[in-house]
Amino acid sequence: MDQIQTAYDQIPYNSVSFPQTHPDRLATVATLLGLDPPPIERCRVLELGCASGGNLLPMAQGLPGSEFVGLDLSGRQVSEGQKAIAALGLKNIVLLHQNLLEVEPDFGQFDYIIAHGVYSWVPPAVQAKLLDICRRNLRPNGVAYVSYNTYPGWRLHSTVRDMLLYHLQQVAEPAERISQARELIDFLAESILAEGNPHASFLHSYVNYVRERFLPDGDDAYLFHNELAEVNEPVYFHQFAERAAEHGLKYLGEAQFQTMLATNLPPKVAASLSRIARNTIALEQYMDFLRNRTFRQTLLCHQEVQLKGKLTPDRLAYFYMASSALPESPELDIFSTRVDKFRAPNGDTLATDHPITKAALFHLSRMWPQAVQFNDLLAAACRLLNINVPQDPLSPDRQILGANLLKGFTYNEDLVEFHVYAPHFTLEIGDRPVVSPVARYEARRGSRVTNLRHELVNLEGLPHSMFPYLDGSWNRAGLLRILEKWVAEGVLEVRQEDGGPMAANQLRDTLAEMLESTLRSLANAALLIS
Amino acid sequence: MGEFKAAVQAAENIYDRVPYPVISHSSTHPDRLATVATLLGMDPAPLEQCRVLEIGCAGGGNLIPMAQALPDSKFVGIDLSAEQVAQGETMRTALRLTNVTLQQMDIMEVTPALGDFDYIIAHGIYSWVPLPVRDKLLEICRQNLAPNGVAYVSYNTYPGWNMLGALREMMRYHTRRLVDPQAQITEARVLLDFLAKSISTDGNTHGSFLYVYVNYIKDYFLPKNDAFLLHDELAEINDPIYFHQFAEQAEKHGLKYLGDVQFSSMLATNLPAEISNQLRRMANNTVELEQYLDFLTNRMFRQSLLCHQAVRLSAQLNPTRLRRFYVASSALAESDKPSLAPGQVERFQTPDGANFATDQPLAKAAMLHLIDVWPQAVAFDDLVTQAQARLGSRQVGADRLDEETRMLGANLLKAYSYSDNLVELHVYAPRFVSDISERPVASPVARFQARQGHSLTNLRHERLNLDKISALILPYLDGEHDRAGLLALMQASDAVEITRQDGRPIEDPAEWNFALAELLQAKLQQFANAALLVG
């Protein structure tokens, strides 16, 4: 453990947010699977391995009625996080420099426990302790999130990792390890002959894949802690589930809900799978085989928890939905029963002939990225259609809408997102715009900030430069003056389309437009709170 | 130790129930071991009078053909499976061999009392036994090895086994509740088929890598290879090891890494110059160099040779050492009319694409001679004489013969280092005939194997498939039967089917007799070319 501590003190991990670890996600999946998880607006969250709080801080800001505790072995990272907490004046979060081996039941009870990127990178004794904490410090209806590297995918990955470790046997200094690792990958990518024996040609394409996918410029901390870590113990999913059971924990589901379902496979494959696999764990294990899975984000609950069976439409009323899918055709006809398609940015489509579903998706596309509670969504759809809202929880229209949205979500959450709450951010830009304080703090140190949907957003250009001034102390006129000052100082350059300089009044109009579009882009990125 | 006994017990059962095929492994022959050892500076025991131990000898399929071909050497084989040893004993008795002993014995029970051996062979054992047995195996390689002895240990190795391991684990998971070996084999195939059909190759890069491997494995384990699938892939224990770790283990047991039976795999010189230079910069010694080579080739299997730590090796290949060797070549000249004239480059190549070019008249003449006499091996000095004879008026003069002979040696060594398909080196010439006599005699081992319906071992210790007609004729190639007798045998058998080129059956008796004689001649020629005839 001393080695681990030192490694993270030397090369701090880029401490960032992981949307899939947010209690919202945990509660959403748990609810879908029949658990009644604690409300996230008033819950207690523990993060094991919190680094400098990059994940926990935005949560704490977004859920002021909840409490957050983070632990990390690296003193340097924790103290950085503590500085951020003080600067932001957050009262509902504590980060502790503490070894998780010292966590006992009296440390406190939590509704949600998060351990992201820890399990595979610690020795077996610590792995066992981690699961022990998930059992003993988790409230009866709580949900624990544990991510880990898994086989069979990591078999292939180990090939590259083993080569790197062998090559670096004699190299101790972290920066030197990183630079030599990069050199070796380059050497291998160029030296393994594509037309050698079948094994070599296979490795050739794999090493090239790793070089492009995992070793992009600059992400040294990722390379150092993931590929070159002293300990890296991947585990098969079925073995992880067994270990969890030994600790009194039950496999609940995956944070990436869609990966649990065989229905996303071709029908023939899904049919064979259901013949072969006798239970959920076996089914998912075989799917891991098919997908050569490398990584899992598993949710656990207490073994004693009785999960409610099939998801009933009335439970859908708990959820908030959001969707960035757009009507495929400009002649969307929400009133007719002809089939219309909605297309997500990734290209997936949801087709429906159900007017209320069409109206609901149309409404969501206008509200994006806001999430809308199911009942409100139904009401909005009915308003668009000029019909009465069906009040009976068992009315067919309610059920069809619920089933369609669920179908979209289970196929790909880019089509329809499910949430248990609507994060507070605004799409309306006031006179004194305010961005998320956490994001403003993050923006001082780099271009990557966390939005109120707990996603990473990359800020570039004007949005990044303006960020410090979006704290409510500047109104539009003041912000415009700042832009004018930047132009005068030559920091900001504005020219005519033909490259010539601009007249003063034209310049003001142009800057006003630029300001508007900057604020609009920040609002759309879920970064504005008022 | 309690746990280990249980594992051994399980091994005993499973090999009794689905025996490993009775086959020979040409790469384990003492000839191969001695050749590589000699090239690396050792003076191993002469093959014609040596002592050989095989650990895990199964049904003697590897050891018995060696014993027959080297009548003055002594062979001992041990195996845990009583049934397989009994099977080997039947073969030994039938062949009346007295220089080979097969015994049922646990590796753990081997002591120095078993004797000293010049060559120790442990093929397909190391990766499939528990840790204490692996240690014991290396201990035997030191304790029971003569000072100048060579030990052969094969094992599964990483990185290649990372991917194979993933498939093995999938098959093991899928068959985890099955006890019956046959059911395990069937279900493992069901899984492979399922994976091959179901893995999506688009979108998921990892998936497409796996897809390539599943199909590779499916092709590798054809239905006839059930025993391999069971014992190699589904075995309780299969612990691959990185080469550098194996070398460390050997060292811990007082042994030294000598080299690989596949000599060309040791050399970085077969890679493009830039890569081999970079490799030499990165690697501080032989073991490191070979480890990096394994990374580059994704190697999955090794056949390592070990010797005592006190043995002095020479890293430099010395062409003068070539005088100790017999040379053979299955290459072909690229040109129809190769020229022996100086300055004219001729290229020699093998079906697998390896080739080498030379303009040295002596080397060209030597290669042409080797091509003529293939599969016979020729002593290096005789090869020089034959090449000189072939050169005729262009013969190398006495003043330059030493220098030219040295160059010939260097050329042959270079070709061998590139691929032993181009040029083979041997420390002895197995005795077989290339001419077909009036009453042909096939190797007794091959005759026995043909009667049993097993695959054949020729006098080059290679494994050959047995077809129906060979199974019919071979047992009668005992020096008692002339061609007429063999023809009568073929007449009487319903195994012989001949159709005309246009596909119609032959009805005319005269035409049939003629066709049958042609077929017999072709078969006998095939046997001669395959090094199966001894008289």
What mean pLDDT is reported for chain B? 89
β-strand B51-55 against B117-122: which pairing, if any? parallel
Asked if residue B83 has pLDDT above 50, the reply is yes
Of the pLDDT bands very low, low, confident and very high (cuts 50, 70, 90), residue A189 is confident
pLDDT in tens, B400-421: 999 999 999 999 999 999 888 8
Model confidence at A274, in pLDDT bands (50, 70, 90)?
Answer: confident
Contacts of B291 (CB under 8 A, 6+ apart): A166, B242, B243, B244, B283
Across residues B256-271, what is the average pLDDT? 88
The pLDDT of residue B491 is above 90: no
Cα separation, B215 vs B199, in Å, equals 11
In tens, the pLDDT along B305-361 reads 999 999 998 877 777 788 899 999 999 999 999 999 998 999 999 877 788 899 999
Q: What percent of chain A has pLDDT over 70?
A: 94
Q: Which helix (H) or strand (E) holds B486?
A: helix B483-492
The pLDDT of residue B389 is: 96
List pLDDT tens digits, range B511-523: 888 888 999 999 9
Q: What is the ipTM of this complex?
A: 0.80
For B27-81, how does the pLDDT look when each residue is reduced to its tens digit (9 = 90+)?
Answer: 999 999 999 999 999 999 999 999 999 999 999 999 999 999 999 999 999 999 9
Position B231 pLDDT exceeds 90? no
Contacts of residue B244 in chain A, CB cutoff 8 Å? 166
In the DSSP assignment, the letter for residue A257 is G
Residue A500: the pLDDT is 79
Q: From CA B22, how far away is CA B58, in angstroms rounded?
A: 7
Average pLDDT over residues B479-486: 94
Q: Do A202 and B159 touch (CB under 8 A)?
A: no
Mean pLDDT confidence for B447-465:
92
Residue B486 clears pLDDT 70, i.e. is over it: yes
pLDDT of residue B185: 87
Model pLDDT, residue A308: 84
* Of residues B203, B221, B220, B219, the one with CA closest to residue A292: B203
Tell me: pLDDT of B7 over 50.
no
How distant is the Cα of A254 from the closest Cα of chain B, in angstroms? 19
Instruction: Report the half-sphere exposure of B388 (CA within 13 A, side-chain side).
Output: 14
pLDDT at B5: 38
| Chain B partners within 8 Å of A209 (Cβ) | 205, 209
Tell me which residue in B198, B204, B282 faces A269 most closely, judged by beta carbons: B198
CB of A487 within 8 A of CB of A465?
A: no
A191 band by pLDDT with thresholds 50, 70 and 90: confident
Peptide bond before residue A152 is cis, with ω within 30 degrees of 0? yes
Query: A440 falls in which pLDDT band (50, 70, 90)?
Result: very high
Position B326 scores a pLDDT of 97
Answer with the residue of higher pLDDT: B400 or B209. Answer: B400
Say if the Cβ atoms of B200 and A290 lie within 8 Å.
yes
Q: Provide the pLDDT confidence category of residue A173 given band limits of 50, 70 and 90.
A: confident
List pLDDT tens digits, range A337-373.
999 999 999 899 999 999 999 999 999 999 999 999 9
- The amino acid at residue B466 is L
Interface test with A, best of B156, B162, B210, B243 (most A CBs within 10 A): B162
Mean pLDDT across B151-162: 94
Q: How far apart are CA A94 and CA A78, in angstroms?
A: 10
- For residue A9, what pLDDT is reported? 66
Residue B314: predicted pLDDT = 84
Cβ-based contacts of B204 with chain A (< 8 Å): 291-292
Looking at residues A100-122, what average pLDDT do you find? 95
Q: pLDDT (tens digit, 9 = 90+) per residue, A202-229?
A: 778 788 877 777 666 667 776 776 677 7
Contact list, A272 vs chain B (CB under 8 Å):
194, 198
What integer is the mean pLDDT of A150-158? 88
Q: What confidence tier does A505 reach under pLDDT thresholds 50, 70, 90?
A: confident
Please tell me the pTM assigned to this model.
Answer: 0.84
Q: What is the mean pLDDT of residues A304-326?
A: 86
Count of CB atoms within 10 A of residue A5's CB? 16
Give yes or no for a contact between B231 and B123, defined as CB atoms under 8 angstroms apart.
no
Q: Bridge-partner residues for A94, per DSSP?
A: A69
| Shortest Cα distance, chain A CAs vs residue B297, angstroms | 5
pLDDT for A385-436, tens place per residue? 999 999 888 889 999 999 999 999 998 889 999 999 999 999 999 999 999 9
How far apart (Å, rounded) are the C-alpha atoms in residues B28 and B43?
Answer: 18
Q: For an interface test with A, which of B174, B176, B200, B206 has the most A Cβ atoms less than 10 Å from its Cβ?
A: B206
- Residues of B within 8 A of A269 (CB-CB) are 197-198
Q: Is the peptide bond before A501 cis (omega within 30 degrees of 0)?
A: no
Q: Which two tokens stand for residue A249?
A: 């924990």
Query: Is there a contact between B298 and A293 if contact means CB atoms under 8 Å apart?
Result: no
- Neighbouring C-beta atoms of residue B248, cutoff 10 Å: 13
Please give the pLDDT value at position A269.
Answer: 85
**Distance in angstroms (rounded) separating the CA atoms of residues B441 and B535:** 5
The percent of residues in chain B predicted with pLDDT above 70, rounded, is: 94
Which pLDDT score, from 0 to 100, does residue A197 have? 66
Output the DSSP codes for A392-436: STT-HHHHHHHHHHHHHHHH-TTT-EEESS-----SS--SS-BB-
Evaluate whether A181 touches A227 at the Cβ level (below 8 Å).
Answer: yes
Q: In this complex, is the C-beta atom of B173 within 8 Å of any C-beta atom belonging to chain A? A: yes
Among partner residues B197, B204, B291, which is closest to A166 by beta-carbon distance? B291
SS (H, E, C) B121-136: EECCCHHHCCHHHHHH
3-class secondary structure for B298-334?
A: CCCEEEEEEEECCCCCCCCCCHHHHHHCEEECCCEEC
Ranges of H-type helices in A264-373: 267-276, 280-291, 313-316, 355-367
pLDDT at residue A157 is higher than 90: no
What's the pLDDT at A31?
A: 94
B296 reaches A (C-beta below 8 A): yes
The per-residue pLDDT for B10 is: 41
Q: Residue B2: its pLDDT value, please?
A: 34
Instruction: Count Cα neighbours of B272 within 13 Å in the Cβ-side half-sphere.
Output: 9
User: Side-chain half-sphere of A427: how many Cα atoms within 13 Å?
Assistant: 7
The rounded mean pLDDT for chain A is 90
Residues 6+ apart with CB under 8 A from B181: B14, B17, B18, B230
- What beta strand segments (E) does B394-461 contain? 424-426, 456-457
Share of chain B above pLDDT 90, in %: 63
| In the predicted structure, residue A4 carries a pLDDT above the cut 90 | no
